[in-house]
Amino acid sequence: MRKIRTYHEVGGEEGSTLVEQVVAQRNRLSRRLETIRAVVAVASGKGGVGKSAVTANLAVTLANDGWQVGALDADLNGPSLARMLGAIGRTLDDGEDGVHPAIGDAGVRVVSMELLQKEADAPLRWKDPGGDAYLWRGSMEAGALREFLSDVVWGPLDVLLVDVPPGTDRIARLLELVPALDAVLLVTTPSEMARAVVSRSARMLREAGVEKVGIVSNMTDLVCPDCGRRTPLYHEDGERRLAAETGLDEWARIPFDPAFATATDRGRISEGSAGGAETAHAFDALAQRLLKELTA
């Protein structure tokens, strides 16, 4: 088993090896990324816009199209990706070459903090030195995310989708680990509040020099399961304003479909894809746009 010392264990004579540990882990991270053709972040800055659902459904869509897909749940405190991809109850096997991900719907390789906790409702608690949590918690979370990337045997992948938790600082943290992100999907909804928050993430990515950034407008309207009629869910048109203000292209417009929502909650996305034509078409279009951008 690998032993990476935590914050409160570093000190004294052993503290001198901390730099060597970090360097070794960075080297492992570089080697892992060599087998992955593209790393794509699914982010927002705003919570509640459906980033995890977009990540899970896009992962299954790509896998069903023949892609080798990995999905990393970077939301350590509120993980949900393993459940959406039907990987709950499956284990992360620890081998000599590293941790092997669980296999979810459509063969998607999944790593999530949810798979490391014995109880479904258990909150994440760090082993800490006690007090001054604001000093060490960020380092602990960054270290855990680094291990998810560097100590996991992802194997050859066409794309690794990273589900980034809310907050522009979480996007910045991922950029520190993977500076050369191949693309970022900024998920938003038509609400004005979402536009205001996501615009900050768009500016941060622009200033960081990330070239391929696309807007994914989620829950744009409701598709009636009986007649197929679309009903707007918001009076605002925030996502279109966001595209105009940032100069970013809208890569997909995804309606809210009850069949997709139920299938995602139950970890049976492939079943929902068969019953929701409008949403399935939207994710197919997003997959094709992503392929176009990655091969441009």
Q: How many domains does the chain have?
A: 1
Residue 7 counted as domain residue? no
* Domain presence at residue 211: yes
pLDDT for res 231:
87
1, part of any domain:
no
pLDDT along the chain (296 residues), means of 10: 46 56 76 91 94 96 96 92 93 85 96 82 66 66 85 94 93 91 95 90 94 94 80 79 89 89 89 69 96 92
Domain-located, residue 95: yes
Q: What does the alpha-carbon distance between residue 71 and residue 180 come to, in Å, rounded to a whole number?
A: 18
Task: Answer yes or no: is 266 within a domain.
Answer: yes
Range of the domain at 118: 17-294
Residue 209 lies in a domain: yes
> Domain holding 238: CATH number?
3.40.50.300
- Would 253 be classed as within a structural domain? yes
